[in-house]
Structure formats: C-alpha cells, structure tokens
Amino acid sequence: MGNENIIRAWAVKQPGAELERYDFDAGQLKNDEVEIKVEYCGICHSDLSMMANDWGFSHYPLVPGHEVVGEIVRMGNAVKGLKVGQKVGLGWTAESCQHCDPCIGGHANLCSHAVPTVLGGIHQGGFADKVRAQWQWVIPLPENMDMSKAGPLLCGGITVFEPLLQHGINASHKVGVIGVGGLGHMALGFFNAWGCEVTAFSSNPDKYDAIYRMGAHKILDSRDTEAFTQAAGSLDLIVSTVNVKLDWNAYMTLLKPHGKLHIVGATLEPLDIAAFSLISGQKAVAGSPTGSPAQLRTMIEFAARKQVEPIVEEYPMSRVNEAVQHLEAGKARYRIVLKSDW
C-alpha cells in the first residue's frame, strides 16, 4: 500500500525555472486540516510572481496554484462543518492563527501570521493531485456552480468583490474599473450583478463590444483627456486591477466627494497622488487583499446565484508549462484553468 501522504505535483526548483514533476511527502494530516483532491486549479499572475520570487518571500521547490476546486478526501479530527466527498474551493490563504484580533474580529485575511497556499517549502499549492489547508479556509461550493469556472473566483473574484463590502457599495453607486483582464473582467460582472452603474476604462475600440458583454454600461477612453474632463466628479469608486504606473491624479478627478480609488493590482511603482486630490473632496485611496472566509463564502454564493463566471481557457495540468507561457505572453482570455489529469 502506498504512502497516503505523498502528493504528486508540478514545481519550480529555482526562480525563472520551468515547472517540472515533483513528488513530496506532506507529512501527517494535522487535526485542523482538510485534504482536497484537486479537480481544477486556476493560474493567477500571483503564481507567476511567486515562481519568480518577485516579492522576495518564495521558498523552493515551490508548487504554485491557489485557485483550487475539488473534493474533500480526508479531514483532521478537529475539522468542523465539512464532510468527506464535499465539493470545495481554496484561494490565496491556506491557514491563519485564529487568535489575533483580526482573526477574532472576522478579518482573518489580515492576519499577520497567515500562510499563503503558495509559499514553497512551508506550504505547497494546487498544481498537484492534492492540496491541504486549514478547514476555515476551505470554502463549500454551491451545487449549481460550474466547477471548471469556480477556481478563479476564489482569488481573482474575491479580490474585486471585497471592495464592494469594504466601502458599503450598493446599487445606487457608480463604479469604474481600470484594466479589463483577468481581474477586471470579473469586476465588471460582479459590479453589474451588484446593481451598480459600471464604467470601464479602455482605449481599444476593438474590445468595446466584449467589454459591454462583460457587464460595463459605459466605456471611457483612458487616453482621451476631454472625456475625463466631461466625466469629472461622476464616480463613487474606482477599482484598479492593473500592475503598471498610471496618471493617478487624472483618475482622482473622476471621483465624487468622498469617492475612493481602490488598488487591487499590485503595481510596484509608488502611487504619485497630489495632496489636494485627496483634500478637496475628502477622497481616499484604499487597497485590500483577497477576503476573509466569511467574505469568500458570501462571494461564492452571490456568484452562483447571479451566475457571475470568469471567462476561462482550459488546459490539462500536464501541459502546465504551455499554459504558463500563454499567460506570460499576455494572451490569456481571460483566466487559465488547469484540469487535473493525473
């Protein structure tokens, strides 16, 4: 009989390397852990950053993948509210301390001791046949949800959904989305389903029909200064999903008094924002990382009820390097999902 703690995976052994087959012994299942048989796993730009150690805290060998959906196959004896055979998902966070003020206050995604699903060495991700996580972070999936499209919701989806909760956005609000890519196209769908008037920023007319189908009501040409002038003071919230430097002061002019510019795209450049852009209208700049377990559950239930889905391209997991190259080349439309084929 084989060792049930052996996990088969795809890993990078050093920054910049291709993924290669890697089997490892995950050790005994902890009392508070769930083991998930992976059925699908999305590929996120954060996986690319972790593979390359762009953020400086990756460990190797590193198994990427933090948009996991699958079936519970084993549970520790302290797990609550879940059962073997249940369809579940797992996002960016695999565990948190459960005793700090953010955890006790319902904001476990802000726990300073939280462990990412993809860290390498300390915790391995979902480019594998199985993955483990603390039970609080294992999210039950509604029965009517398409498993092949659910994975990206657990990272990209919650990333753009959380600002709606954080800022108390309702159907009377007007929101804008910067960047119509992997995150942005889900933002358009969520904000539309939330009841908001949704404005997308794009300078490519060839994309306009697709952007409207994704959920935008209006499109503002991001290179048209006159259009920005006419739209001044019209938005309650702008969510930026891009990782590049922009003219942030131009976007601040589009906000109403008390408006928020919310950053979820991990641009490495400092935000150059004039003080009077904030002072004159009591405006604010904010940001957020994914979401808490409760917010993840709220998001996934809302997505299922309103049929908010990412647009995905599917690859077998055995062709993971080809899928990564497709994403790195900027050709993904709009999220890539790996199907387990072990």
pLDDT category of residue 1 using cuts at 50, 70 and 90: low
Confidence at residue 238, expressed as pLDDT on a 0 to 100 scale: 98
Residues 94-103 have a mean pLDDT of 98
Domain boundaries, the chain: 6-155+310-339, 157-287
Name the CATH topology of 6-155+310-339. Quinone Oxidoreductase; Chain A, domain 1 (3.90.180)
CATH superfamily label, 157-287? NAD(P)-binding Rossmann-like Domain (3.40.50.720)
pLDDT category of residue 39 using cuts at 50, 70 and 90: very high
Confidence at residue 268, expressed as pLDDT on a 0 to 100 scale: 84
Confidence at residue 267, expressed as pLDDT on a 0 to 100 scale: 86
pTM of the predicted protein model: 0.96
Confidence at residue 287, expressed as pLDDT on a 0 to 100 scale: 97
What is the tens place of the pLDDT at every residue in 146-203?
999 999 999 999 999 999 999 999 999 999 999 999 999 999 999 999 999 999 999 9
Confidence at residue 340, expressed as pLDDT on a 0 to 100 scale: 98
Residues 259-265 have a mean pLDDT of 97
pLDDT category of residue 30 using cuts at 50, 70 and 90: very high
Reduced 3-state DSSP string for the chain: CCCCCEEEEEEECCCCCCCEEEEEECCCCCCCEEEEEEEEEEECHHHHHHHHCCCCCCCCCECCCCCEEEEEEEECCCCCCCCCCCEEEECCEEECCCCCHHHHCCCHHHCCCCEECCCCCCCCCCCECEEEEEHHHCEECCCCCCHHHHHHHHCHHHHHHHHHHHCCCCCCCEEEEECCCCCHHHHHHHHHHCCCEEEEECCCHHHHHHHHHHCCCEEECCCCHHHHHHCCCCEEEEEECCCCCCCHHHHHCCEEEEEEEEECCCCCCCCCCCHHHHHCCCCEEEECCCCCHHHHHHHHHHHHHHCCCCCEEEEEHHHHHHHHHHHHCCCCCCEEEEECCC
Q: Please give the mean pLDDT across all residues of the chain.
A: 97
